[in-house]
Amino acid sequence: MAGLAAGSTRLRMTHTGPWVADLGSQRLGRLFALSQMAAFPPGARTMSSTVLREFCEADAQEINRLAVTAFEEFGCNYSDWPALAAFYGKMSDLAKSGEIVVAEIAANIVGAVAYMPPHRGKAAYFDQAWPVIRSLVVDPKSRGVGVGRALTQECIKRARRDRSPVIALHTSAILKVALAMYLRMGFEWHHDAPAVYGVPYAVYLKKLLP
Ligand SMILES: CC(C)(COP(=O)(O)OP(=O)(O)OC[C@H]1O[C@@H](n2cnc3c(N)ncnc32)[C@H](O)[C@@H]1OP(=O)(O)O)[C@@H](O)C(=O)NCCC(=O)NCCS
């Protein structure tokens, strides 16, 4: 697992600022750093305090609820939203073949993502050797404070851990905020994938420098 010793590190982030380690927290679970840590600038305001940790079975119901809630606003674009909602309502199943990372603010789950390592649990439109980011979701009430980017960055970190030269994902132009973020993070269109309930989707790839 990427990161630091078990149960002792908490991360804070500002809208624009660096990750900050606040050592000594007694929080349970295995908490870990997502990206480089830097000294907390004197006087800087902390907008939110986000902790990323590994998924555990007790999170399943909340993660499944969150995944459906995150996609609900796009439901009218899909020809069969109830079917897609049922799919997202089982997001926790991805823990069987991948690694779900959970984001918490003030001990509440606010986001999650599944990292699928090389040769595990991915659709046929991916090269099976590629690590893949799946089901990135952030609660609508907790958006815009860096949680989505942090979860994506954590997947990139894990792909590097797995010594992959690339990382892939599957998204759609209707998911405007997500796609724009991925492009800013260096993902590039690779090929079109089959539509999902009538909505065009494509595979995007990011090259990872050695
Ligand atoms: C996409 C999603 C995960 C982003 O989560 P988030 O926690 O709000 O994202 P962040 O706060 O880390 O912001 C990421 C970037 O998007 C920008 N952003 C966030 N909300 C935005 C909005 N409403 N409008 C425009 N830009 C926005 C941020 O400024 C940030 O920019 P940066 O790349 O320069 O850092 C979230 O909107 C979501 O759950 N969407 C629905 C599900 C989805 O589309 N998942 C992706 C599946 S492929």
Domains and CATH numbers, the chain: 49-207 (3.40.630.30)
Q: Cα separation of 131 and 160, whole Å?
A: 10
Q: pTM of this prediction?
A: 0.84
- If you measure from the C-alpha of residue 128 to the centroid of ligand 1, how many angstroms do you get, rounded to a whole number? 27
- Beta strands 166-171 and 188-196, pairing class: unpaired
What SS3 state is found at 142? helix
* Percentage of the chain exceeding pLDDT 70: 77
16-43 pLDDT, tens digit each: 332 332 323 333 334 444 433 333 334 3
CB 49 within 8 A of CB 12: yes
- If you measure from the C-alpha of residue 181 to the centroid of ligand 1, how many angstroms do you get, rounded to a whole number? 6
CB 99 within 8 A of CB 117: yes
Give me the mean pLDDT over the 70-81 stretch: 98
Q: Cα separation of 43 and 73, whole Å?
A: 38
Q: Does the CA dihedral 61-62-63-64 come out positive or negative? A: positive
pLDDT exceeds 70 at position 3: no
77: DSSP letter: G
Written as one letter, the residue type at 133 is I
Side by side, the strands of the sheet bearing 166-171 are 50-54, 99-105, 108-116, 132-138, 166-171, 199-207, 188-196
Ligand 1 test: best mutation among 152, 181, 182, 199, most atoms within 8 Å of CB?
181
Q: Cα separation of 41 and 48, whole Å?
A: 15
Give me the mean pLDDT over the 130-134 stretch: 98
CB 101 within 8 A of CB 155: yes
Q: Which pLDDT score is estimated for 48?
A: 62
| CA–CA distances in Å: residue 90 to residues 62, 99, 124 | 11, 14, 20
141 lines ligand 1 (CB under 6 A): no
Q: Which pLDDT score is estimated for 34?
A: 40
| Average pLDDT value for the chain | 83
- With b meaning 16 or more CB within 10 Å and e meaning fewer, what string describes 78-95? beebeebbebbbebbebb
- If you measure from the C-alpha of residue 161 to the centroid of ligand 1, how many angstroms do you get, rounded to a whole number? 25
